[in-house]
Each structure stands twice: as structure tokens, then as C-alpha cells.
Amino acid sequence: MLKLHRLQPARLLASPRRRPAAITATFTLRLYSTPATNETWQSGNLKLSHVVGVSTPPLYENTTGRLLRDLAQTHADHPAIISVHQDVRLTYAELDRRSDILAVNVARQLGIRRGDRVAVCSGNSWEYPVLQLGLAKLGAVLVPLNPAFTDTQFHAALNNSQSRALIIQSHLSRGRRKTSRDITGLIRAATDGNLLPSVEKVVILDSMAAPPEDARMYIALDGERIRPFDSLLKWYSAESAADMPEIAYLHDVAEDRKYANEVINMQFTSGTTAMPKISCLTHRNLTNNGSLIGQRMGITPTDKICAPVPMFHCFGLVLTNLAILSQGGAVVYASETFDARSTLQAVRTEQCTGLQGVPTMFSAELELKDELKKGGHELLRKGIAAGTSIPVEMMNRLIETLNLDQLTICYGMTETSPVSFMTAPGDTLERRCETVGTVMPHTEAKVIAPNMEPGPVDLTPLPVGKKGEIIISGYLLQKGYHNSPSKTFEAMVADPANPEKVWMRTGDEGVMDEFGYLKVTGRLKDLIIRGGENIHPLEIENVLFKHPAVSQASVVGVPDPKYGEAVAAFIQLHEEYHPPRTPSGTISHKPGPSVEEIQAFVETNLGHYMVPKYVWFVPDFPKTASGKIRKVDLKGTALSLI
């Protein structure tokens, strides 16, 4: 389950580029409303935690293929995709043509038809949006796979999704060190009908990390079932495309609205459970969510947005590709996998106006002081921060160092396509740092009494200012979890007052103010109960982020014989700091804070009952594909240490 950005109040620096009040008012009037009237919300008179987004602009009721076709006519020669590490630039017209040809060849060569699943495993490259849009044109279902998967995870993902084809890089980068992994075993499994019975064809997508000879070696294993990616684009030219009857078919499908509600993406949720669920998302889900995100960001055809976030995740596919392309902007891929230095260099060489990322990415970029001194980021202003909580101190540094004064904050989950709440560039810095913004257009949200027990759910909204579970309704809700009706029934609750309305339970705790701004206070399941006191890990984490030596922090609850649960904190220090002792036991030449100092810092800012009983310094954190820290792993580590 994707959990996007959550923020809490803290001291803010003044921005030299704070938006004028007139702009703030414009965004408010155009984008926000309530179940009662606009005036109720805007005047701060909202009484119940129940908001409904405006119904303008109208929802897009056609397919993703039709959207790209329209964009290609409007922005034909405008850059759409810029892959810096591949030295490839695609205009909107080229992106449209290549995705047309790919769709035809996927059907001809791989035997894929509308509704069939095609798994794709790749880093960031120009090929990814061509695949994303080409498969959507065909009506096939994109199943993005994380390149960091183990062979066991690959097998499970391919079998659970029942993918008929696998498109994969010949070598896969793994982890932060960008080591490559040979996929011979996986290829052999894919051609073995017993291990992966649904997979009929494999396409080798050449990786920047591997020579073409490696791809030919894999193809030699089974020339009938394995083929190179180039074969899917072998008729690429404007003349040959015009002669293909299949192209006319694709355009006819794009014009038919009945296909808009068909599934085109099966996304593995990024929750921290051992077996992630598979969320089924439609043309209508994704094109509208992407377009509305791009509009709220203020994307225009003059924008170039650098996107180091992974394309196998909805942050890359929706918040980046669809959000930017739907508004006529250009997407810039700096590197195959995230590299902070390559990202800053791409921003400089391409004169980017925006930057996407999760806090760990922004943190790594801010650590590169030598690269930042070179400049070249003066045009930066827009972007999205998502994935997990971002400390206010980091937000201030992003504004002061990288000029990101229009950085927006998103909240959502994979199952809601994914964004349901978002700040606007015209929101005050306080609003953008203390909340996740207001509800998106065509979206309805409530905060209800939390109830994690099985059984009926009370959908009555709580008064504003009261904490409870966030629930979401609207066009953005998934069709359901693949092959899991029980999980679907558990998460998607029918409204007894309106049988046609369904609510998605997020499992997140939040609080809404009288203006409709939402503050996410944490995961309900992460709540720590110490001696009868409810402790929200996010509160402690936000205080820890304020310590000058702390780069990242995560707090979990562990068993305690006296209080039931105790607070345990894992801390990663800034690069210039070191833990009090190095692994060898010697004192560091520039020691960071001690355990006692961290505990005193929390007590000063929050009170004694929130002080971590345990503090451990770590070099890095285990993370999900979305960049969220895997607290379940940290809990396991804590239990082994106490």
C-alpha cells in the first residue's frame, strides 16, 4: 500500500519566493469545495471531517491511447521524453508513433490481446513510457516489477499476476551500489512451463549496464520464445505505420469510451506485509489522476521535470509520466537507477524547472555540496515530494538551496490511483509543511472513528479536529485486488446510504481542520501504547528530524514488561557526522550525538513519556519500492537487540 507524504508542524524559514495572496485565492476557488458550499470551507466553517472535491474540470472519459493521440497532435514537435543517460530525446509525435508500433508488434509477435498481462522489469529509460503507453493502447495490462526482486519474488509476481509475457533487461541493477545481476536462471525459469506456466514469451530489453552480446546469449537459449526488444519496434517509421491496418484498429479502440473502465495496470502495493496485494487500475483511474496532479502542480509545456523516481512504481508511472505528459511538459530521466550526482547534473544540463523525489533522494542530493556549488538549478521551482514523511528542515533546505519554492506534497495509496489529497503551489509554506493539502477534484474523503476489528464500519464523519481513520471515495478507487475478493471486501466498504458508493479504508490516521486541510498523523497499526498513553511515531520522528545531526529517523514500538510497549528509535546521521563509536570501537574524529543526548532532545521537545527507551544508529534503512521505511523489518531488528 503506497503511503505518500505526511507532514507535521514545525518552525519554517521565510521563502523569498512566497506566492502572492492573489494566487492562493485563485487555487482555492478553482480547486476546493465541501459537501456544503465553497464558502463554508473557505471561511473556515467546516464542522465535520467530510469533504468533496469540485467537479471541474470534467473527468476524462476516454482511454490513455486517445489522450496521447490528442497530445501528439497538439504538441507534435515538443520534447516529451529526455533520457540523459541514453542520449535519447523523443517528441510527442515520436512517442505516439513508437507506442503505436510497439502495440502492433506486441500483438503480432507475442500474441498479446486486450486484457492480457505483460510484466515489465526495467530501470528508467525511454523504453518504459513507450511500453506503458503502447500496452495501454492495445488494452493489455502493464505489470511493473521491481528490479530488486529476488528470483523467488519474480516467480511469485509472475505467477500471481498470471503474466503471459515478460519484458526484462538483460542485466538488472540491484540496490544502492548498482551491482548487476545475471538473469540466466530467471530466463530459464520463464521458458520452463512448470515453473512459470503462464509466461509464453520473453523479450530482452538491453540494459545500459550490459553489452548487446549478453542479450543475444539469452535469445540463443530459446529463439522461439525469447526475442530482442528491437523486434517490437522494427517497423518504426511514419510511412510504414500509415500502411498498417492495426494502427487504424488502435485508433478505433482509443475512440471507444467503453474501454476506459478496463484495467491497464496491475500494481503491487508497497505495503510492508510479506505478500503484497495486486491493485487493479483502469484507464479512467490513471489518466484522470495523472492529469489532475499535473494541473495542481501547475505544469505547462515549458516545463522539464527531472524524475529520478522508479518507473516500476506509481510515483513514476502516474505522478511523473502521466502528470507531466498530460500537460505537455517533458520528463527527464537522469539515470537508470537513482543517483544523486547524475540527478543534479541532469537538472543542470537540461535546465530543468522541476524535480520529483522522496525524502531519501532529496537528502542524498543535498549532501552533495560540491555538486550544488556548480549551480545550474536556478530554474527549479516545481515538483512533488512523496513516499514518506519529509522533515520541515529539509523543506527549508530544498527551498533555500534548490529554489523548490513551489514543491507540492501528495498523499494517497496505490489503491487510489494514487493521489487523493495534495497541496497547491499557492498554499502557504505553513500549509504545505503542516498538512497534505486538500482533497483532489472528483474525490470525496472522510475522517471516521478508527476501528481495526472485523465487522461493520461506522462511516459517520468525526467533528473537525478529531483524529480518526481516513477513508476515500470517487473515480480513483481501484477495481479491486487481483484474485483476492476477501481482501477487496475488507478494504472497500459499501456505503449503506448509497449502494453505488464505495469507500476505501486507508488504514491511516488523520485529522482535518475547519478549512478542509488534512494532516496525516500516522499508520493506525503503528500506534504505540505505552502505559495507556497513545504515542504516534511520526510525532517523535519529526522532532528527531529537527536535530542538526539527524538525516533520517524511524520510530517503532517494542514489548516492555512495565509499560506494555516502549519507544525504540533508529537514527541515520548526516554524512559529516558519525555515530559516537565506529564499528571497530574507536572514537570517531567528529562524533555525533550520544544516546543520552537524543533522549534529552526528545524530552525537551515532547515530554518524558515520549522519550525513546532504545536508540540505535544505523547507516541506512530497509525500504519499500516507494521509499517508505520498512518498519516491520526495524521491529524485527529491535526485538533481536533488546
* H, E, C per residue of 338-392: CCHHHHHHHHHHHCCCEECECHHHHHHHHHCHHHHCCCCCCCCCECEECCCCCCH
Helical packing angle, 245-255 and 127-138, nearest 10°: 80
Domain contains 188: yes
Q: Which residue has the cell 446510504?
A: 497
DSSP tag of 590:
S
Domain contains 133: yes
Q: How far is CA 266 from CA 85, 142, 154, in A?
A: 28, 6, 15
For residue range 618-638, what is the model confidence (pLDDT) as tens digits? Answer: 999 998 766 678 888 999 999
Domain contains 192: yes
Containing H/E element for 300? none
What's residue 247's pLDDT?
67
CB < 8 Å & 24+ apart, contacts of 210-218: 210/169, 210/170, 210/171, 210/180, 214/170, 214/171, 215/170, 218/170, 218/183, 218/184, 218/187
What's residue 549's pLDDT?
93
447 and 48 in contact (C-beta within 8 Å)? no
With vertex at residue 109, the alpha carbon angle to CA 106 and CA 111, rounded to the nearest 5 degrees, is 75
Domain contains 585: yes
For residue range 300-329, what is the model confidence (pLDDT) as tens digits? Answer: 999 999 999 999 999 999 999 999 999 999
CA–CA gap between residue 610 and residue 559 (Å, rounded): 15
What's residue 459's pLDDT?
97
CB atoms within 10 A of CB 638: 20
Containing H/E element for 255? helix 245-255
What's residue 28's pLDDT?
28
For residue range 24-64, what is the model confidence (pLDDT) as tens digits? Answer: 222 222 333 334 344 455 567 899 999 999 999 999 999 99
What's residue 271's pLDDT?
52
Q: Which phi and psi (to 5°) does residue 402 adopt?
A: -115, 5
Hey, CA dihedral for 92, 94, 98, 101, is it positive or negative?
positive
Domain contains 438: no
550 and 597 in contact (C-beta within 8 Å)? no
Q: Which residue has the cell 515530554?
A: 607
DSSP tag of 108:
H
- Cell numbers at 495, concatenated: 456505503
Domain contains 6: no
Instruction: Kindly state the percentage of the chain with pLDDT values over 70.
Output: 82
The alpha carbon of residue 554 and the mean position of all alpha carbons in its chain are separated, in whole angstroms, by 19
Q: Domain count for the chain, please give it.
A: 2
- Cell numbers at 588, concatenated: 570517531
- Cell numbers at 333, concatenated: 530521466
Domain contains 499: no
What CATH number should be reported for the domain holding residue 188?
3.40.50.980
CA–CA gap between residue 552 and residue 362 (Å, rounded): 11
- Domain boundary residue among 255, 279, 299? 255
CA–CA gap between residue 202 and residue 216 (Å, rounded): 13
Q: Which residue has the cell 515538443?
A: 78
For residue range 256-277, what is the model confidence (pLDDT) as tens digits? Answer: 788 999 999 999 986 544 567 9
Percent of the chain as helix, strand, coil, to the nearest 5: 35, 25, 40
Closest CA to 17 of 547, 538, 425, 366: 425
- Domain boundary residue among 212, 229, 255? 255
CA–CA gap between residue 480 and residue 317 (Å, rounded): 19
Domain contains 144: yes
Q: Which residue has the cell 572514537?
A: 587
> pTM for the full model?
0.84
CA–CA gap between residue 31 and residue 35 (Å, rounded): 14
CA–CA gap between residue 201 and residue 515 (Å, rounded): 53
Q: Which residue has the cell 502505559?
A: 531
- Domain boundary residue among 255, 280, 313? 255
166 and 119 in contact (C-beta within 8 Å)? yes
What CATH number should be reported for the domain holding residue 587?
3.30.300.30
For the chain, residues with pLDDT lower than 50 are 1-39, 175, 208-209, 272-273, 582-588
129 and 123 in contact (C-beta within 8 Å)? no
CB atoms within 10 A of CB 209: 18
Closest CA to 64 of 327, 349, 288: 288
What's residue 253's pLDDT?
66
What's residue 273's pLDDT?
46
Structural domain harbouring 576:
527-641
